[in-house]
Amino acid sequence: MTETTKTHVILLACGSFNPITKGHIQMFERARDYLHKTGRFIVIGGIVSPVHDSYGKTGLVSSRHRLTMCQLAVQSSDWIRVDPWECYQDTWQTTCSVLEHHRDLMKRVTGCILSNVNTPSITPVIGQPQNESSQNIYQNNTNVSSKPTAAKILGKVGESLSRICCVRPPMERFTFVDENANLGTVMRYEEIELRILLLCGSDLLESFCIPGLWNEADMEVIVGEFGIVVVPRDGADPERIMNHSSILRKYKNNILVVKDDSNHPMSVVSSTKSRLALQHGDGHVVDYLCQPVIDYILKSQLYINASG
């Protein structure tokens, strides 16, 4: 398949990130490597979307801290960024609404043919408070080459998204087109198929099988309209998990299971283990968290007490 005929993918990971671990970052890397190996996809970006403070999870530290830790964790990445949209809403947002928000935003900004834009949502673009700056949230990607390939063109779009997605745009700018991208005559955005896929571990997939935990209509949208990329964790078998849910079985072709080293060392890393290691002064915390995140946690005195 040529670059223009491959599906261009943005991986979106939602979660507490309390704190973000090396396992979270490796989940993005493993998913990208696997999708590229299939020959069907080009991953052009990754988005980390921390949950709103009102999610109510015990020990969840302020989104201010979680956003900063996420940014520190991805600061060396040239393709993963942190999006604070969830955190800046008035209340907790469902995973479905977060996916719809990013889908609609990408449609407005790029004009791409998104394969998961069947029904426009009414998700508003609600922005960052006016008295705060987004400078510490987003990173400028200076590694985009001048070669006008599809991936690089959408890299330019990603830079524009970084500047606008936390700002409440005037109504007339809802059809924003990136005037900074040098498209030349090589390709128009409309010629690129773009998909936003939910990236998750097998533990989240397993939660779909718990009766009453997820709204079934949301599950239909998440799996049926968007699709999921699943990274196995703790030896879990995603194929077995899918057989326990009628919706997962129905949309099995929309669920991409990463098939790499099932004994990957990062598959057992979790935020819970990281918090326990911090509380107990366990030196293994360096295996779970990157050093800038550890430094920030110690400086801010997070997770040191069992209460979080």
Structural domain includes residue 186: no
Structural domain includes residue 152: no
- Residue 269's pLDDT is 87
> Which tops the pLDDT comparison, 150 or 181?
150
- Residue 208's pLDDT is 93
**Residue whose C-alpha is closest to residue 158's, from 145, 169, 144, 171:** 144
Structural domain includes residue 142: no
Structural domain includes residue 295: no
Confidence band (pLDDT; 50, 70, 90) for 300? very high
Phi-psi region of 111 (alpha: psi -120 to 50; beta: other; left: phi over 0): left
Furthest-apart CA atoms within the chain: distance in Å: 59
Confidence band (pLDDT; 50, 70, 90) for 260? confident
pLDDT in tens, 172-224: 222 222 333 333 333 344 567 789 999 999 999 999 999 999 999 999 999 99
Structural domain includes residue 176: no
Mean pLDDT of the chain: 77
- Residue 149's pLDDT is 45
Residue 97 has pLDDT above 70, yes or no: yes
Residue 6 has pLDDT above 60, yes or no: yes
Domain interval for residue 225: 7-115+192-265
Domains contained in the chain, number: 1
- Residue 1's pLDDT is 65
> Which tops the pLDDT comparison, 139 or 240?
240
pTM value > 0.75 = yes
Structural domain includes residue 298: no
- Residue 23's pLDDT is 94
Q: First and final CA of the chain: distance in angstroms?
A: 49
Angle, CA 219 vertex, CA 213 and CA 222 arms, to 5°: 130
Structural domain includes residue 165: no
- Residue 33's pLDDT is 95
Q: What is the 3-class SS of 151-212, one letter each residue?
A: HHHHHHHHHHHHHHCCCCCCHHHCCCCCCCCCCCCCCCHHHCEEEEEEEEEHHHHHHCCCCC
Q: Is the peptide bond before 84 cis (omega within 30 degrees of 0)?
A: no
Residue 134 has pLDDT above 60, yes or no: no
Residue 259 has pLDDT above 70, yes or no: yes
Strands (E), the chain: 7-15, 41-50, 80-82, 113-114, 193-201, 228-231, 255-257
Amino acid at 193: E
Q: Report the 10 Å Cβ neighbour count for 141.
A: 16
In contact, 286 and 42? CB cutoff 8 Å: no
pLDDT in tens, 41-64: 999 999 999 999 999 888 999 999
Range scoring the smallest mean pLDDT among 46-55, 114-123, 140-149, 246-255? 140-149
Residue 142 has pLDDT above 70, yes or no: no
- Residue 256's pLDDT is 96
CATH code at 66? 3.40.50.620
Structural domain includes residue 121: no
**Residue whose C-alpha is closest to residue 297's, from 73, 53, 133:** 73
Range scoring the smallest mean pLDDT among 34-48, 136-150, 191-205, 275-289? 136-150
